[in-house]
Structure 1
């Protein structure tokens, strides 16, 4: 469906849970999330109905997110059913990788076509610090499991000044060792990003300063600007939602685990789809897509996102 600004909305990001087995500092509080009654969360049938409604409006790409989607007990069933919705051409999943060794074969068989793996550091101590409870070897085992299952993997790295900007070369070097893409994403000023301080934000252009040998490559239709190291097996992507936003090319809507449809990650606007028929969902989606804002408000260390939720509550 085309919105009022001429953008073709073809991409739905579906959060299946706001819970996670890690506690990444820019994503959620140390104590985790307040447990909501199951009655306040979308059921599997409601999620699939929402995917069907979105597909009927022209959505062709679905990304399953969390929280951490693999902690959802029925995640394989959700993916299997979603992959078979007419019109859905690509089903991607974003994960921290911890549970991939146990679930990769089932998810591959269910129809997941691509994996994005969150990995902000290759230093075990720093990994434990940023995740509060995680172990680097678990994430790397998840990466190996994803590659063994035959997926093309994109690694998502949130760029944090004073924390991992000194690892840009090592992280980008993963494209030399593995058939993976590494995407550096600017730290967004959400509810829980303050603890890093103002100096934590650095623009993605800093990556190029540290990788002078990287050369531009043709865009692939996504929001990342792409580069490649000599002899690399994959690309390096730069995603700049703060310093160089891509609102004019945004083609996505988001559905939270508690059933709120959001036209923009950084907007407080949301509308509930819970308890609706598929046709009612379709009409509300049509309304949300048409009224999708032209651009989100300014983002900076002094101008936080208006989303009003942590990232785990929206879907990273």
Structure 2
């Protein structure tokens, strides 16, 4: 098993398969984003080698992210190969939903049922303001199709001051009839704008206080490595979660490794890149010793990791969702 410097077992990897995206969400990516050449990305063969190696060391869950993962050519065949790796018990996907609805039957056929859908507003005009693209209808079509195919859907809502905080109760209302989980995420400093991030007004406590003005919230048990504080609303088919992504209250149980589309490894979202698995594979060097060594120097939490990050924060799309 992979373990870190603080005796935490690492059994979950978030793997970006592309840095490209068809949206330009203001909290995630600058409008003038420059994408890397395809030759700089991990190839399908390298991804399989990487995941086979990680699975041999106890990684059992893989989340596929981007950019927007469905912009990667041949994603479904790649997912089929990942699905065949011994030891990988769950594959999940985070998507913006613009292209996803065409692929839902293929995902279901592969047994991939866990999908996180990024959706920060229920208003078409506001969607265009946030994403700088007019794709609201496509995303809603994906949401409807995911639910129709009985997928396990989590809607990820980044809560932004003076942008979408008036919609929190409307998002919670989505859980009344549908078995969907709506997760409100604190805004983070990874917008790729290159300027200082001064903190947030809408932390997880403020989000919960606002929801409690409308709803009675019953605390649900959280999974051992959950990043979300989970709640049910009486009479609702679904549930809600609040993720203290900036407050970083969950670091003590973190079980994940994060790998970008170009092979850069982060042992903490807030920390610097610690090695590059693509470079290791292309030079013929062994992967596991280098990964384990990096984990042995892992920071205790996101605040400590942030102190190690001397450059300006990257775009979340570059980090990998």
Alpha-carbon contact 2:30-2:191 (below 8 Å) kept: no
Shift of 1:234: 1.6
> Partners of 1:199 and 1:241 in 2: how far apart?
12
Kindly indicate whether the alpha-carbon contact (under 8 Å) linking 1:53 and 1:279 is maintained by their aligned counterparts in 2: no
Is residue 2:170 matched to residue 1:170?
A: yes
Do structure 1's residue 91 and structure 2's residue 95 form an aligned pair? no
Q: Is the 8 A contact 2:161 2:201 kept in 1?
A: yes
- Secondary structure at the residue paired with 1:177? coil
CA displacement 1:63-109 (0-9 Å, x = unmatched): 00000001111110121111111111110000011112211111222
Equivalent position of 1:311 in the other structure: 316
TM-score by length of 1: 0.92
Quick one: distance in 1 between partners of 2:198 and 2:313?
Answer: 20
Aligned to 1:218: 221
- Aligned residue in 2 for 1:295: 301
Q: Which runs of no fewer than 5 residues in structure 2 stay unpaired?
A: none
Call closer, same or farther: CA 1:35–1:83 in 2, change over 3 Å.
Answer: same
Residue of structure 2 in register with 1:237 after alignment: 241
Q: Distance in 2 between matches of 1:135 and 1:163?
A: 18
Q: Residues 196 and 211 (structure 1 numbering): CA distance in 2 closer, same or farther, change over 3 Å?
A: farther
Q: Does 1:285 align with 2:291?
A: yes
Q: Secondary structure at the match of 1:12?
A: strand
Output one character per residue of 1:245-286: Cα deviation in whole Å (capped at 9) or x when no partner.
321111111110011111111111321111544871222222
Alignment CA distance shift 1:263-1:199 (3 Å): closer
Question: What does 1:175-186 correspond to in 2, within 5 Å?
Answer: 175-186=175-186
Distance 2:175 2:166 in 1: 17
| 1:137-286 aligned within 5 A | 137-192=137-192, 201-212=201-212, 213-221=216-224, 222-277=226-281, 280-286=286-292
- Partner of 1:207: helix, strand, or coil? helix
Give how far 1:184 is off.
Answer: 0.5
Q: Which deviates more from structure 2 when the two are superposed, residues 306-315 or residues 49-58?
A: 306-315
* Cα offsets for 1:170-221 (capped at 9, x unmatched): 0011111311000000000124368998586410112221222112111133
Q: Could you tell me the TM-score, scaled by structure 2's length? A: 0.90
Contact residue 177 and residue 233 of structure 1 kept, 8 A: yes
Q: Distance in 2 between matches of 1:26 and 1:305?
A: 21
Distance 1:174 1:66 in 2: 26
- Greater shift after overlay, 82-91 or 275-284? 275-284
- CA RMSD, Structure 1 to Structure 2 (Å): 2.4
When the two structures are aligned, how many residues end up with a matched partner? 313
Q: Mind listing any 5+ residue stretches in structure 1 that lack a counterpart? A: none
Q: Aligned in 2, Cα 1:134/1:10: closer, same or farther, shift over 3 Å?
A: farther
Structure 2 residue 105 is matched with structure 1 residue 105: yes
CA spacing shift, 1:267–1:198, aligned 2, 3 Å: closer
